[in-house]
Chain A
């Protein structure tokens, strides 16, 4: 079959990421379990992203409210603003924006860290000292990213809704209790559950791509930069592709 070199390179890369993922699932259930390093990575990954995710969440809620409000007022639907923001933030904007921030912050950090370890032979040093570097570095970081992103999304959604509450109160008075009641009334199980589940997939994508790019970094310091950069690009793209897949699945299951 005749395929262009670019398509061939893309397929080759996709195949390698798939093989890397298969290796992850093979190693994750096999002892020895690196519990201490996993907990350490959860702390590093979660703690590192906390301020950035909180701040962007707040701005996102505030800006979304301020931009939607004029149109809602024009159609006489201002009272629906909390419900609209609630659904938008919880179902889509919160998980996707947080995952993109996470990809930028954590994907690049993992890519650069592992890339630097690779080009300075630290991964080889780990292997010769009798440690499985894939298990110690890749499995722990990927699991930590998978587990931490959903927690960060919960935080981001909460802060975002608070930002939205402040946004509404710039123009008119709305009690916090009433605002929360309106938001909660608008949300059903089918809004929250699929949105929460997809964040695990987003976190996994960011973790595995960051690790893959770092683990296969080449050509010295230039390769480290390239690994960090492409980790962000590929992870962000994967977040959108996964989002698209999730919406198709929820549509088929009548969860929309």
Chain B
């Protein structure tokens, strides 16, 4: 990126935030009789990289979908950037979502649009007063940040898995989020591409100072990105600590992740 100076969101004021950027208290979520999250508590500090480690189906994705308001919790408090997500109406939730980036596991690029249109879409929806020159500059900046400026007029189907992930990341960055939620960012990628994506995530973290929640069961990704790790077992925060704390844990249920 061309320096952090240009990362100020158009029309936004700097809102210094005291305390954690994400605070979850007593979160419960079930689907029918299937309990996914039970009395789940969590805090993410400003600028922190938090990795949520858990087995497939343990409720990691449900957790971040509750945070961004795609799923309604059955019970509990979810506070993001000082606002209670469950108490917001649609308009307020949309305003808040602009400050949160979400990288989907499947990338979720719009098939029928070119890379440029994919990146322009969230911009045009939120800041429709931007002129074409400003939009082009922001698209260029986002593509430069992921090193894929040459793909601007390509369709998502023409891109490799790693390139699609980078474009999805560029689309997430274009709204200059304060928090980024990564849903399994390295799943389905080869080790070299995974490493490139991890490096990119760390680069973004350093340059923009964003807080991140990274949902993964990729141990390499966890090792290279985490400031702190929480282990999600039985719908609860089972263990928490730095990567080293978790890696050296004597608890058999935690040790299983490293075997």
Do the beta carbons of A121 and B126 come within 8 Å of each other?
A: no
B121 interface neighbour in A116, A120, A124, A129, Cβ under 8 Å: A129
State the Cβ distance, B180 to closest chain A Cβ, in Å. Answer: 11
B104 interface neighbour in A113, A121, A130, A132, Cβ under 8 Å: A121
Is residue B70 contacting chain A, with contact meaning CB distance below 8 A? yes
State the Cβ distance, B218 to closest chain A Cβ, in Å. Answer: 19
State the Cβ distance, A143 to closest chain B Cβ, in Å. Answer: 19
* 21 A-B pairs with C-beta separation under 8 A: A120-B111, A121-B105, A122-B108, A122-B109, A125-B108, A125-B110, A126-B121, A127-B70, A127-B97, A128-B68, A128-B70, A128-B100, A129-B121, A129-B122, A129-B126, A129-B171, A130-B94, A130-B122, A130-B125, A131-B122, A132-B90
A130 interface neighbour in B98, B111, B112, B171, Cβ under 8 Å: B98
Is residue B243 contacting chain A, with contact meaning CB distance below 8 A? no
The distance in angstroms between the C-alpha atoms of A128 and B174, with both chains bound, is: 13
B126 interface neighbour in A116, A124, A130, Cβ under 8 Å: A130
State the Cβ distance, B196 to closest chain A Cβ, in Å. Answer: 22
Give per-residue flags for A95-119: 1 if the beta carbon is below 8 A from chain B beta carbons, else 0: 0000000000000000001001100
Residue of A117, A122, A125, A126 with most chain B CB atoms under a 10 A cut-off = A125
Do the beta carbons of B122 and A116 come within 8 Å of each other?
A: no
Do the beta carbons of B97 and A128 come within 8 Å of each other?
A: yes
Do the beta carbons of A129 and B97 come within 8 Å of each other?
A: yes
State the Cβ distance, B89 to closest chain A Cβ, in Å. Answer: 12
Main secondary structure of the interface of A (DSSP, over half): helix
Is residue B182 contacting chain A, with contact meaning CB distance below 8 A? no
Is residue B6 contacting chain A, with contact meaning CB distance below 8 A? no
Nearest CB to that of A120 among chain B residues?
B106
The distance in angstroms between the C-alpha atoms of A110 and B254, with both chains bound, is: 46
**Chain A contacts for B126, CB-based, 8 A:** 129-130
The distance in angstroms between the C-alpha atoms of A100 and B67, with both chains bound, is: 44
Category for how many chain A residues contact B:
10 to 19
Do the beta carbons of A129 and B104 come within 8 Å of each other?
A: no
**Chain A contacts for B102, CB-based, 8 A:** 125, 128
State the Cβ distance, A137 to closest chain B Cβ, in Å. Answer: 11
Which A residues from 125 to 172 make CB contacts under 8 A with B?
A: 125-132
Nearest CB to that of A121 among chain B residues?
B108
Give per-residue flags for B64-104: 1 if the beta carbon is below 8 A from chain A beta carbons, else 0: 01001010000000000000000000100011011010101
State the Cβ distance, A164 to closest chain B Cβ, in Å. Answer: 39
The distance in angstroms between the C-alpha atoms of A161 and B94, with both chains bound, is: 52
Nearest 7 pairs of A and B residues by beta carbon: A129-B122, A125-B108, A121-B108, A130-B94, A128-B102, A121-B104, A131-B125
**Chain B contacts for A122, CB-based, 8 A:** 108-111
The distance in angstroms between the C-alpha atoms of A130 and B108, with both chains bound, is: 15
Nearest CB to that of B112 among chain A residues?
A113
Is residue B63 contacting chain A, with contact meaning CB distance below 8 A? no
Is residue B214 contacting chain A, with contact meaning CB distance below 8 A? no
Nearest CB to that of B90 among chain A residues?
A132
The distance in angstroms between the C-alpha atoms of A132 and B91, with both chains bound, is: 10
State the Cβ distance, B168 to closest chain A Cβ, in Å. Answer: 8
Nearest CB to that of A128 among chain B residues?
B102
**Chain A contacts for B98, CB-based, 8 A:** 130
Nearest CB to that of A119 among chain B residues?
B106
The distance in angstroms between the C-alpha atoms of A120 and B94, with both chains bound, is: 21
**Chain A contacts for B111, CB-based, 8 A:** 116-117, 120, 122
Nearest CB to that of A136 among chain B residues?
B125
**Chain A contacts for B95, CB-based, 8 A:** 130
State the Cβ distance, B161 to closest chain A Cβ, in Å. Answer: 13
B106 interface neighbour in A121, A127, A129, A132, Cβ under 8 Å: A121
**Chain A contacts for B110, CB-based, 8 A:** 117, 122, 125-126
**Chain B contacts for A113, CB-based, 8 A:** 112
Is residue B175 contacting chain A, with contact meaning CB distance below 8 A? yes
The distance in angstroms between the C-alpha atoms of A124 and B102, with both chains bound, is: 10
State the Cβ distance, A255 to closest chain B Cβ, in Å. Answer: 43
A124 interface neighbour in B90, B94, B104, B109, Cβ under 8 Å: B104
Do the beta carbons of A125 and B125 come within 8 Å of each other?
A: no
Do the beta carbons of B125 and A129 come within 8 Å of each other?
A: yes
Do the beta carbons of A125 and B104 come within 8 Å of each other?
A: yes
The distance in angstroms between the C-alpha atoms of A132 and B94, with both chains bound, is: 9
